[in-house]
Amino acid sequence: MTVSTDHTPGVSEQAARIVAALPRADKLRLVSGADFWNTEAAEGHGVSPFMLTDGPHGLRKQNGAGDHAGLHDSVPATCFPTASALGSTWDVPLLEEVGAALGRESRTEEVGVLLGPGLNIKRHPAGGRNFEYLSEDPLLSGRMAAALVRGIQSEGVGACLKHFAANNQESDRMRIDTIVDERTLREIYLTGFEIAVREAEPWTVMCAYNLINGEHAGESRRLLTEVLRDEWGFDGLVMTDWIATHDRPAGIRAGLDLEMPSSTGAWDARTVAALRAGDLTEAELDVACGRVVTLALKVAAERASRVPADRVAMHDDHHALARRVAAAAATLLSNDGTLPLAPRGRIALIGAFAESPRHQGGGSSLVNATRMDTALATMRARLGTDGEVVYAPGYDAATGEATDEQIAKALEAAEGADAVVLMVGLPTSFESEGYDRTHLDLPASHERLIQAITAQHDRVAVALSHGAPVHMPWADAPQAIVTGHLGGQAAGGALVDVLFGDAEPGGRLAESYPVHVRDVPSDRNFAHAPTQVQYREGLYVGYRFHDTFGVPALFPFGHGLSYTTYEIGEAKVTGRGTSRTVTVPVTNTGDRAGSTVVQVYVHDPVSSVLRPEQELKGFAKVHLRPGESADAVVALDARSFAVYDVDSAAWKVEAGEFEVRIGLSSTRIVATKSVRLTSGDVVAPSPAPASAVATDAEFAAMLGRPIPAPRRLFPFHYDSTIGDLKTTWMGRRFAGALGGVMAKAMPTDQDMPDEVRETMTSFIVNMPLRALAMMSEGRLSFASLDRLIRILNATGLSARRAARK
Ligand code: BGC
């Protein structure tokens, strides 16, 4: 793969010359968008505008009205499997192919930057946006994201790592303050970004909405400049998430270059005042502007050197790729030999998802698919005259609800069938950007169907569609369970490929599936408080928790079965010092082609700081024909053995013995090798909790300071949300009036699906007050917003005083 991150020679110098010649007003204009999706131009200076748009698993280019809630339509584009599925492939070359396809569609539609991949850590299984993220593990997230970035950028389109950083829940995402200790931040939440930046040199990074330890992510000089640029060598552009700006001059000072979308000059007066007062320097503004201009020149140069692809042929190819990828992501969770099915006889296909696929999540990533495979049509075509498909929907695809009659009809369809395929999962409204799930249950009707059908039939394969783990108290009942995750527009076709063994279920879980959400330590501190979330579980995220505390997951990280069998030969670890190569011979001993993922975990038996039981440090996916052998080769380096030493702000390796564990999942370790390292590194003691959730005292020790008090909801400030206003009488009246205005701006389309309405409502309720000025198109200045907030606070205060009398 050719990586074309750089950077037409001399572009930054050319940009610096342009910026030096620009009047300040033009510079201020350029560091903010022109509209919802496009940047500003300085035509007289050779700077053309370019488009940035979602992402991440397909292009969402809107030609008409713009929104970031999946509200308005976008041009048809291939809807690839979502990141939760992509991460489950563990297949670096395949994700490069997906990235290249995304890049090709973007450049054909004249998009300069695709807003993805997203690689936040899945801290809690109910995170509303988990389907848009790759894994619970930073190494897997980073490697998968790097592959996508290389692919996208190989087509001359910029990629965007998002959301930087520690953006791990949707509830109150615009103003939640993530309280996390430094070691956890580095080892869990930043490592994936670091890998992707170092490996793939993305053109852009998007900062997160949230605050981290009291500071807005977009105003953190430490994150955006010291860590991202100075330490990791990032030399691209940092943009805001949409309407994330909280203080524009502070953002520029911190290293935040581009504000998106346009705030129609709302911040200009503040920025000029900061320049006058010396709180911001002209040089700092020039740097931000220079990066915008550099990117504009780069986009223009790439565009000039390439021709758009033929849309029809491209969409055909990409649909085929989407089907291949969906099968490579499909994860066989259990199987007694029922799968693969023989492509003949009578097969009962039950579940409305067979006709109305659940294939992607809600919010800004919503892709207008070019076409849609259904399992029903594909299965009928696959069986042809050799067999019969008896179909019953069993439930309503949109609501997930079922009538007694629907269940009875499903049972009737299953009666006498040679095998039953039962498609269940989460309806669309369960998973979206903008809100988190409140439980991990499947809809009650889906569970009822599983119970009823498995009680009656003994060849039942459950096929799941969902973007994140679900409770499966019924897991022992069916003879096989396969998850297609959210498999994109070809999910239906890919499922049929996998069910009949035309394709191998290539997926391995990129996240642990807990028995119950209560097992997970982050559950104690997740989406419970409106202004603060405390990461008291520290490093104990996902398998790091399960494996350290011996609390089994229902299906562990890295798990996934195959249709064939493998023999793992004698593993070797070669090399010296921290630079080691793990070589594992693998033979396909079955009679089908297949793939498996060799996973390498490192365990540190003696350490002066607390470490999780083991951590993933490398992996290799091998594809083998029947009887074929190949070596899985995994390289380890200093970071594979290191911890982050907070005292010295450096990664350190302690001398001593390490165990290199070779596994087929985090709990299926098939070989262990010992490695002895010499090192002069000294790691300072690092406070850690005695259990999986830190007590107050332990958490304060981890933070190195008292636990900060959560920000109060009243008095109101820029980060207060429209939803917060309901706490005062005047606020309620104001929010009511505002709601009326906003409702008018929403399409009156009766057909707006419930989930889009739900996402939109959550966007409005969670909108921070500062966004009123930014989105008012000049009608509300920040000075007026300040006055408004003062009034709301004064009336709220006097009402509270009166109430106390
Ligand atoms: C999301 C981003 C997205 C942007 C533009 C935001 O709400 O958090 O991921 O790229 O909107 O749609």
Assigned domain for 315 exists:
no
Does residue 332 sit in the same domain as residue 301?
no
What pLDDT is stored for residue 799 in this prediction? 72
Chain mean position to CA 298? 27
Question: What six digits make up the tokens of 483?
Answer: 């998850």
Please tell me the residue having the least CA distance from ligand 1 atom 5: 68
Instruction: Kindly state whether residue 552 falls inside one of the protein's structural domains.
Output: no
How does DSSP assign 294-336, residue by residue?
HHHHHHHHHHHT--PPPHHHHHHHHHHHHHHHHHHH-EEEEES
Cβ(739)–Cβ(764) below 8 Å: yes
129 close to ligand 1 (CB < 6 Angstrom)? no
Integer-rounded Cα radius of gyration of the chain: 26
Query: Looking at the predicted structure, is the pLDDT value of residue 7 above 60?
Result: no
Whether ligand 1 lies within 6 angstroms of the CB of 164 is answered as: no
Structural domain including 622 reads 558-690
Task: Quick: pLDDT tens for 121-162.
Answer: 999 999 999 999 999 999 999 999 999 999 999 999 999 999
pLDDT band at residue 2 using 50, 70 and 90 as cut-offs: very low
Q: Which residues pair with 38 in a beta bridge?
A: 51
Beta bridge partners of 425: 465
pLDDT number for residue 747: 66
Distance 313 CA to ligand 1 centre (A): 30
Identify whether the C-beta of residue 201 lies closer than 8 Å to the C-beta of residue 236: yes
* d(C-alpha 536, C-alpha 180), whole Å: 8
Please report the pLDDT score of residue 14 as a whole number.
Answer: 96
- Give me the active site residues, please: 241
Assigned token pair, 271: 């920025």
- Would you say residue 247 lies in a domain? yes
Ligand 1 lined by 755 (C-beta under 6 Å): no
Exposure of 132 in the CB half-sphere (CA atoms within 13 A): 31
How many CB atoms lie under 10 A from the CB of residue 781? 15
Among residues 670, 690, 710, which one ends one of the domains? 690
Length of the chain: 805
Confirm or reject: Cβ of 760 under 6 Å from ligand 1. Answer: no
Evaluate: CB of 162 within 6 angstroms of ligand 1: yes
- Alpha carbon of 241 to ligand 1 centroid (Å): 6
Same domain membership, residue 655 and residue 570: yes
pTM of the model: 0.97
Helices (H), 225-267: 248-254
Calpha distance 288→529 (Å, rounded) = 35
Check pocket membership of 762 for ligand 1, CB cut-off 6 A.
no
3-state secondary structure of 43: helix
> Does residue 704 lie in a domain region?
no
Residues 292 and 377 in one domain: no
Q: If pLDDT is split at 50, 70 and 90, which confidence band does 751 have?
A: low
Diameter of the chain by CA atoms?
Answer: 84
Query: 557 C-alpha vs ligand 1 centroid, how far in Å?
Result: 28
Q: Which tokens hold the place of 92? A: 């670096």
Q: Are residues 270 and 408 in the same domain?
A: no
Residue pair 497/586 in contact (Cβ under 8 Å)? The answer is no
Residues 333 and 239 in one domain: no
The per-residue DSSP string of 165-205 comes to TT----TTTTT-EEE--HHHIIIIIIHHHHHHHHHH--SEE
- Could you tell me if 49 and 120 lie in one domain? yes
Domain limit, last residue, from 305, 338, 369: 305
Q: Which atom of ligand 1 is nearest to the CA of 55?
A: 10
Q: Is 532 a domain residue?
A: no
Q: Does 68 sit in the ligand 1 pocket, CB within 6 Å?
A: yes
pLDDT tens readout for residues 376-433: 999 999 999 999 999 999 999 999 999 999 999 999 999 999 999 999 999 999 999 9
- C-alpha 300 – ligand 1 centre gap (Å): 24
Q: What percent of the chain is modeled with pLDDT above 90?
A: 92
In-domain check, residue 705: no
Q: What pLDDT was estimated at residue 805?
A: 67
Structure tokens belonging to residue 375: 């399992």
For residue 289, what are its two tokens? Answer: 């502007």
Q: What pLDDT is stored for residue 68 in this prediction?
A: 73
Dihedral sign, Cα of residue 466, residue 470, residue 474, residue 480: positive
Residue 9: the pLDDT is 60
Q: Whose CA is nearest to atom 12 of ligand 1?
A: 68
Rounded Cα gap, residues 45 and 435, in angstroms: 43
Kindly report the average pLDDT of the chain as a whole number. 95
455, 677, 541: which is closest to 141 by C-alpha?
541
Residue 370 in contact with residue 320, Cβ under 8 Å? no
Report yes or no on 529 lying in a domain.
no
The CATH number of residue 642's host domain is: 2.60.40.10
Atom of ligand 1 nearest to the CA of 209: 8
Same domain, 130 and 189: yes
CA 364 – ligand 1 centroid, Å: 6
Q: Is residue 545 part of a domain?
A: no
Helix (H) / strand (E) element for 422: namely strand 419-425
Our count of domains for the chain comes to: 4
CA-nearest residue, atom 8 of ligand 1: 241
Q: Are 192 and 138 in contact (CB under 8 A)?
A: yes
